[in-house]
């Protein structure tokens, strides 16, 4: 896939997150359709951490020093360890969007990067730079879909109006 398209998509996805999440009232940022599901606050905290400590970090590491081991990450554990539910939503959204802008600027600055590099992951084998960049975009799509489902669930839970006229969900 064309790297320019992927980087441009990361920038567009930042705009999508901004449009979907700016000015959400506090009750909406912490609403969950079920206790085991994530709310918007947890999603934004996750996106912030992933942007810095997984996706950008691992791609940079693979481009610059593919033989160096990646630090371990545990995004599921971060929810509790980093106390996502105590974070201030709009501040964390702002931080994430700034990190995304940093990521996009960095990616656009890579003129002659060794995109053929791959990190030899001990469990999954070679992880190429192309795989990392493409999955960064896929990760965005996953969470955009998650936020859309969250918005629909909130609407459905807070209205007495049937939603079937809009189509089958």
CA distance linking residue 44 with residue 6, whole number of Å: 21
CA angle (7, 10, 11) in 5-degree steps: 90
Sign of CA dihedral 68, 139, 5, 53: negative
CATH code, residues 3-166: 1.20.120.450
DSSP letter, residue 164:
G
Tell me the pLDDT tens digit for each residue of 51-88: 999 999 999 999 999 999 999 999 999 999 999 999 99
> For residue 78, which of 135, 38, 137, 35 has the smallest C-alpha distance?
38
Domain boundaries, the chain: 3-166
DSSP 75-99: HHHHHHHTTGGGS-HHHHHHHHHHH
Tell me the pLDDT tens digit for each residue of 24-61: 999 999 999 999 999 999 999 999 999 999 999 999 99
Rounded to an integer, the average pLDDT of 16-30 is 96
> For residue 129, which of 13, 12, 6 has the smallest C-alpha distance?
6
Angle between helices 56-64 and 129-157 (to 10 degrees): 180
Sign of CA dihedral 20, 26, 32, 37: positive
pTM of the model: 0.95
At residue 1, does pLDDT exceed 80?
Answer: no
Tell me the pLDDT tens digit for each residue of 108-144: 999 999 999 999 999 999 999 999 999 999 999 999 9
Which residue do the tokens 């691992």 mark?
58
What does each C-alpha distance from 121 to 62, 100, 124 come to in angstroms? 11, 25, 6
């Amino acid at each position: 896939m064309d790297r320019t398209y992927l980087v441009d998509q990361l920038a567009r996805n930042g705009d999508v997150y901004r449009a979907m999440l700016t000015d959400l009232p506090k009750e909406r940022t912490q609403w969950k359709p079920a206790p085991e599901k994530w709310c918007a606050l947890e999603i934004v905290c996750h996106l912030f951490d992933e942007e810095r400590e997984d996706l950008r970090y691992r791609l940079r590491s693979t481009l610059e020093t593919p033989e160096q081991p990646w630090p371990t990450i545990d995004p599921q554990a971060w929810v509790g360890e980093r106390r996502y539910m105590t974070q201030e939503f709009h501040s964390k959204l702002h931080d994430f969007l700034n990190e995304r802008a940093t990521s996009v600027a960095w990616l656009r600055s890579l003129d002659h990067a060794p995109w053929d590099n791959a990190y030899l992951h001990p469990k999954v084998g070679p992880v190429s730079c192309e795989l990392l960049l493409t999955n960064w975009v896929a990760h965005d799509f996953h969470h955009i879909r998650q936020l859309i489902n969250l918005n629909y669930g909130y609407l459905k839970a807070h209205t007495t109006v049937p939603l079937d006229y809009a189509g089958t969900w």
